[in-house]
Amino acid sequence: MPFPVSLATALMAALLMALSLSATAAEKEAPKKKPSRVTFVKSGSGETASERERRLIRECRGRPDAGACLGYAR
C-alpha cells in the first residue's frame, strides 16, 4: 500500500517542478516592454490654477462667502 502513495507523491512533485521550470523559462525569454509615456490631461475648463483664482476673486466680489466663493468673497 505505501508504494502507490509514494509513487503518486513523486509524480506530483516531478510535475510541479516541470511546470515551475517552464514558467520561469518563459518569463526569461519574453522581451522587456518599454514603459509607455505618461500624458497629462488638462482640466475641462482649460484654465490654469492662477487663472481660476483670479476669476473667482473677480466674480465673487460682493457675494456671500459660501459655495464656490468660499475664501474669495470680501
pLDDT for res 24: 54
Where do runs of H (alpha helix) occur along the chain? 2-29, 49-59
pLDDT for res 58: 92
pTM score above 0.75: no
Question: What nine digits make up the cell of 62?
Answer: 460682493
For residue 57, the 8-state DSSP code is H
Distance of CA 68 to the CA centre of its chain: 31
Distance of alpha carbon 5 from alpha carbon 11, whole angstroms: 10
Q: Tell me: the pLDDT tens digits for 12-45? A: 788 777 767 655 555 566 677 888 888 877 767 7
Q: Over the chain, what is the mean pLDDT?
A: 77
